Amino acid sequence: MGFETVVLAKVAKVLKSDNQASFVCGTLFVEAEERDARRVFSMLCKEYDFKVSPSKVSDTEFAYDFIA
């Protein structure tokens, strides 16, 4: 499986939904409440050795950039 597919599966597990996240040009976008977005960020930081830079796009959309 590719990196994006694996990440999306892990995000779906955290959010208990598989239609709230997608990748656009290497950036992960997640539709979620802020507390759930924080859980996603925490999981990403624990799972991957590189840095993850979160951004709030709107009240219910968050973006995560992966920095090698």
Domains of the chain in start order, with CATH, are 3-67 (3.90.1070)
Give the separation between CA 50 and CA 13, rounded to whole angstroms: 21
Give the separation between CA 68 and CA 56, rounded to whole angstroms: 21
The predicted-structure confidence for 1-54, as pLDDT tens digits, reads as follows: 799 999 999 999 999 998 999 999 999 999 999 999 999 999 999 988 778 999
Q: What is the dihedral of CA 7, 9, 15, 21, to 10 degrees?
A: 60
The predicted-structure confidence for 14-28, as pLDDT tens digits, reads as follows: 999 989 999 999 999
Helix (H, G, I), strand (E, B) or coil at 42: helix
Specify the pLDDT at position 62: 98
Specify the pLDDT at position 68: 77
Specify the pLDDT at position 48: 82
